[in-house]
Amino acid sequence: METKTNEQPMVELKAVPNGPLLVKGQVKIINDAGEEMVMDKTAICRCGLTQHQPFCDGSHLKV
């Protein structure tokens, strides 16, 4: 069952075992250079091996 609060759409975060954090729902990502990106769906690296921080580039599959 989906629950909403404050009329904001719900953002879903799902951890993939030994992989990224899947993000579903509109989020604003600000990188370390201060650049902002708005995305509806993305995968955030949890392993630290990606060459495309903060996003998963599949490098976790090579370990």
Residues that bind ligand FES (CB under 6 A): 19-20, 45-47, 49-50, 56-60
Nearer to ligand FES (CB atom), residue 29 or residue 47: 47
Task: Closer to ligand FES by CB, 10 or 15: give it.
Answer: 15
Token pair listed for 34: 């201060």
Where are any strands of DSSP class E within the chain?
Answer: 12-15, 21-30, 36-44
With H, G, I as helix, E, B as strand and everything else as coil, classify residue 41. strand
Identify which of residues 1 and 63 has a Cβ nearer to ligand FES in the complex: 63
* R_g over Cα of the chain: 13
Q: CB of 22: closest distance to ligand FES in angstroms?
A: 10
